[in-house]
Amino acid sequence: MDTFDLIVLGGGPAGYLGAERAAQGGMRVAVFEKRALGGVCLNEGCIPSKALLNSAKVYEYAMHGEKYGVTATVVSIDHAVVLARKNKVVKQLVTGVGMTMKKLNITVIEKPAVITGKSTEGFTVTADGTEYATEKLLIATGSVPILPPIPGLHEGLESGFVMTSREILDLKTIPESLVVVGGGVIGLEMASYFNSVGTEVTVIEMLDKIAGTTDNEISDILLKNYKKKGAKFKLSCKVTSVGSDSVTYEEKGESKNIAAD
């Protein structure tokens, strides 16, 4: 049985940084990761979303270059190339994390693991039928999106017309219309990108403001700028059901529908 000073369950920012620090201190470390090093932030969150937004920003600059003294006669955006660049950025950073692990002699095991034992000496972890022992254990397994109990949501996710923040980052085609349920940071990022590349975007939010955790002044400025770009907002509204081509929501006690691809 392989024995380590520290086993880390999860290779996201908390996991891989904890592993690096422990290895730098002389500990023998193993990291178990069932998907890819870097976690949600690097693979399916902060980094890929910012890569998309950066492409959208360049596109908008080109579209309105005359304000800066630059005139472009033909400006277009190739979503496939945007996705390829996003994937390249992610791959480079994931590779960088892996190289750091290798440099510090950290064992990376690309399998899901479960805790199967505990004693005064430490813990036992099992992955794919193989047991590993460790004195210390760092649990950094991360999280997954929560799907609210909205009729049609789970079925839509299985069928493909409903997406979480994970699936939409790899959407192959630009839809004509998109309804974003939730006006928080992640929803607004996706609304911003697709609105910039020509999708008719509607954001439905239960609160009376977007970016709910921010100051009202910031929220108001964001809302004004999103609307100026053409995005639509349904605030103080509650989504009641989701279909393959429409979303039903409640506004001031009245049931309404909005079409969406």
For residues 98 and 165, membership in a common domain is answered with no
Residue with tokens 């510090």: 104
Count of C-beta atoms within a 10 Å radius of residue 246: 15
CA distances 2 to 6, 66, 82, 126, Å, are 12, 64, 43, 11
Q: Which of 244, 226, 242 is nearest to 183 (CA)?
A: 226
Which positions ≥6 away from 170 have C-beta within 8 Å? 83
For residues 99 and 217, membership in a common domain is answered with no
Give 2: exposed, middle or buried? Use CB within 10 Å, 0-12, 13-18, 19+: middle
Task: Kindly give the interhelix angle for 216-228 and 185-196, rounded to the nearest 10 degrees.
Answer: 20
Q: What is the pLDDT of residues 102-148, one digit of tens each?
A: 999 999 999 999 999 998 889 999 999 999 999 999 999 998 888 89
For residues 115 and 45, membership in a common domain is answered with yes
Q: Is 193 left (phi over 0), alpha (psi -120 to 50) or beta?
A: alpha
Tally of structural domains, the chain? 2
CA distance 202 to 248: 13
For residues 171 and 93, membership in a common domain is answered with no
Task: Determine the pLDDT at residue 120.
Answer: 86
Domain end position, chosen among 104, 139, 174: 139
Task: Cite the beta strand spans of the chain per DSSP E.
Answer: 2-9, 29-32, 107-109, 114-119, 122-127, 130-139, 177-181, 200-205, 232-235, 237-242, 246-251, 254-259
Q: Which of 127, 93, 123, 124 is nearest to 109 (CA)?
A: 127
Count of C-beta atoms within a 10 Å radius of residue 229: 12
Q: What is the pLDDT of residues 47-73, one digit of tens each?
A: 999 999 999 999 999 998 998 899 888
Query: In which order are the strands placed within the sheet that holds 232-235?
Result: 177-181, 200-205, 232-235
Task: Determine the pLDDT at residue 83.
Answer: 98
Domain end position, chosen among 112, 139, 166: 139
| Structural domain boundaries enclosing 160 | 153-259
CB 225 within 8 A of CB 211: no
Taking the whole predicted model, whether its pTM rises above 0.85 is answered as: yes
CA 122 to chain centre: 34
- In this prediction, the residues of the chain whose per-residue pLDDT falls under 70 are none
DSSP assignment string, 82-101: HHHHHHHHHHHHHHHHHHHH
For residues 130 and 17, membership in a common domain is answered with yes
For residues 168 and 121, membership in a common domain is answered with no
Task: Determine the pLDDT at residue 143.
Answer: 87
147 in any annotated domain: no
For residues 123 and 9, membership in a common domain is answered with yes
Domain end position, chosen among 139, 166, 195: 139
Task: Determine the pLDDT at residue 15.
Answer: 98
